[in-house]
Amino acid sequence: MIPIEHKEAKYINPLARFVTAEAIALLLKVNITQIKYIRCWARVVLVVGVKFSRFVSYADLPPILAAEAPNTADIIRWRKRWNKNNHQAPQFWLEFYKQKFEQAVNVSQLYAWGQLVGLIKFGLSLVTVQKLRHFYSDTKAKLENVLLMAA
């Protein structure tokens, strides 16, 4: 488990609840085992790994189920950041949510991830949304198949 520390900041960024080692590894295009630790500062996230040290914006990280759902203030923060990226979420979000769909252990968990993606699809390109729908339906079919086999 990679430690995620908040002790350096007197102010914790509201988007800090979405900081995960998985998302940071995908964003930085490194293996998760290369990350030594993650420190959440007031305005940025410091990621220290094997032979690298990088600052990451909170607004580059996708929302997760384990945290409170995104609210209007979060969306405003993302939109400000996305102004530099054709008003769209970072491309790695596709791979992140694809992995989350594939990691779902049952249809209800998959549905919850689908609902979360539905909340933020305004920031995804049409092609990305179509790909995620395809991954979602494929995963749902596999999970339902497993249920039928078990019955």
pLDDT tens column, 85-119: 788 999 999 999 999 999 999 999 999 999 999 99
Give yes or no for residue 8 having a pLDDT over 60.
Answer: no
Please say whether the beta carbons of 72 and 98 come within 8 A: no
The two structure tokens encoding residue 101: 């769909």
Rounded CA separation 67/25 (Å) = 19
Q: What is the mean pLDDT of residues 12-23?
A: 93
Cβ within 8 Å of residue 34, ≥6 positions away = 25, 49, 50, 52
Residue 10 reports pLDDT greater than 80: no
What 3-state DSSP class applies to 2? Answer: coil
What is the reported pTM? 0.89
Mapped onto helix, strand or coil, the DSSP state of residue 35 is strand
pLDDT band at 2 (very low <50, low <70, confident <90, very high): low
